[in-house]
Structure 1
Amino acid sequence: MAIGIVKTVMAAGLPRFGCTANVDMNHFDGLVQALKDALGPCSGLTSEDVDVKYLQKLMKDYDSSDEREWSKFAMGDASRAYTRNLVDEGNGKSNLLVLVWSPGKGSPIHDHGNAHCLMKILRGNLTETRYAFPEGKEEEGEDIPMAVISEKVHKENEVAYMADELGVHRVSNQGSDFAVSLHLYTPPNVAKGGCHVFNPETGKKSHVKNCGYYSAYGRKL
């Protein structure tokens, strides 16, 4: 029997991805557990303890084409550039989030609080623009535009890796429909201590204390 995937619109115009039937085996739940197991009960708390390549393989091997498996976490809001939806807190070693990106919008340029970031595209395409850390002398008030290192379009089911030693970046949805991505942050530094965002024209940074969630465990906050 053919199963039709549909996008439903919730109250207050919030897009959410749904389906017309139940799933017998949810491979997304298996991925969540595998990532948690890989981080372990007592290791992985610091960046040096994390086997990034293995975590990346786990995410890459997951086929996201069946939207029914992750749809309950994909809560979007067209009035926002993107929403952060908590899936799992990984034994305290990480944060696993589903982000829903509104069409034509994106994140500010930001760092990752000295943590690993793995991003898998669940639906659509996302453009990642990477920048070198600004070299402007903030204490002297000097403005230096940020230099672009690279720009790449990540397609559905691809996995990207980012860390502060590679620079800073912004992610944007340049398509005409909502895009969805899965993000693994380890350690969960940004959730605990925030991150920095950067002005592309001046290189100046500001600290964002609270990088909160739009929903947690499939329920809107």
Structure 2
Amino acid sequence: MGVNEGNSPGHPYVLEIWPPGHYSPIHVHSNSYGIIRVLHGKISTKLYSHFNVNHQIPFVTQLFEKDDVTWLSPGLNQIHKVANPTSSLCITIQAYHYGHDDQDHYEYFDYITNNGKNISHFDPKSDMDYVQFKKLIKKEWVAYGNRP
């Protein structure tokens, strides 16, 4: 959500929908600041002390539930893996921003590939803008008969 103005890795606001069993790879957030709130469901976060293919053991795992909030800042909580370990949908909203003194923006999130042997990067781009998303959800809601 929002426009990438160059002061965050990708869009500054992200609404993520985590189907049951879905997860991210181990990744790092480009030394940005961030705040994450669980809007619905539960999400698990594993934190890592090193971003290295030879060190993939988390030092802590935390389960966040609806209305829980967590954060990251340069040097803290940057390296993590996120997963929805439940049988229900999880939705999070996230906001990211580089620090005022950070003039060397790295626009990518580096991650460890699923085979655990390589480091790669991706450009965090939105799947669709908020207006498109809202129209699609409304269409599905109407087609479903407005049932929960």
Q: Using structure 1 for the length normalisation, give the TM-score.
A: 0.49
Task: State the AA in 2 paired with 1:196.
Answer: D
Deviations 1:61-88 (A, max 9, x none): xxxxxxxxxxxxxxxxxxxxxxxxx2x2
- The answer on whether the counterparts of 1:128 and 1:169 sit within 8 Å (CA) in structure 2 is yes
Task: Structure 2 unaligned segments of length 5 or more: list them.
Answer: 134-148
Task: State the AA in 1 paired with 2:46.
Answer: T
Q: Does 1:216 align with 2:133?
A: no
Deviations 1:36-77 (A, max 9, x none): xxxxxxxxxxxxxxxxxxxxxxxxxxxxxxxxxxxxxxxxxx
Q: CA RMSD in A?
A: 3.0
> For the residues of structure 1 that align with 2:4 and 2:61, how far apart are their CA atoms?
30
2:58 pairs with one of 109, 132, 148:
148
- Residue equivalent to 1:120: 37
Among the aligned pairs, what percent are the same residue?
19
Cα deviation, residue 187, structure 1 = 2.6
Task: Structure 1 unaligned segments of length 5 or more: list them.
Answer: 1-85, 136-142
* Consecutive aligned runs of 4 or more in structure 1 exceeding 6 Å deviation: none
Task: State the AA in 2 paired with 1:184.
Answer: A
- Residue equivalent to 1:101: 18
Q: How does 1:193-212 map to 2 (within 5 A)?
A: 193-199=107-113, 204-208=118-122, 210-212=123-125
Cα deviation, residue 200, structure 1 = 7.7
Q: Using structure 2 for the length normalisation, give the TM-score.
A: 0.71
2:68 pairs with one of 158, 164, 187:
158
Cα deviation, residue 218, structure 1 = 2.6
Task: State the AA in 1 paired with 2:131.
Answer: G
> For the residues of structure 1 that align with 2:68 and 2:16, how far apart are their CA atoms?
15
> For the residues of structure 2 that align with 1:146 and 1:133, how far apart are their CA atoms?
8
Deviations 1:181-206 (A, max 9, x none): 010011399x9722100258757421
Deviations 1:154-193 (A, max 9, x none): 111011012351240011111112110010011399x972
> RCO higher in 1 or 2 (8 Å CA, sep ≥ 6)?
2
> For the residues of structure 2 that align with 1:207 and 1:93, how far apart are their CA atoms?
18
Larger radius of gyration: 1
158 and 202 in structure 1: CA distance in 2 versus 1, 3 angstrom threshold: same
Q: How does 1:1-221 map to 2 (within 5 A)?
A: 86=1, 88-89=2-3, 93-94=7-8, 95-134=12-51, 144-166=54-76, 167-187=78-98, 193-199=107-113, 204-208=118-122, 210-220=123-133
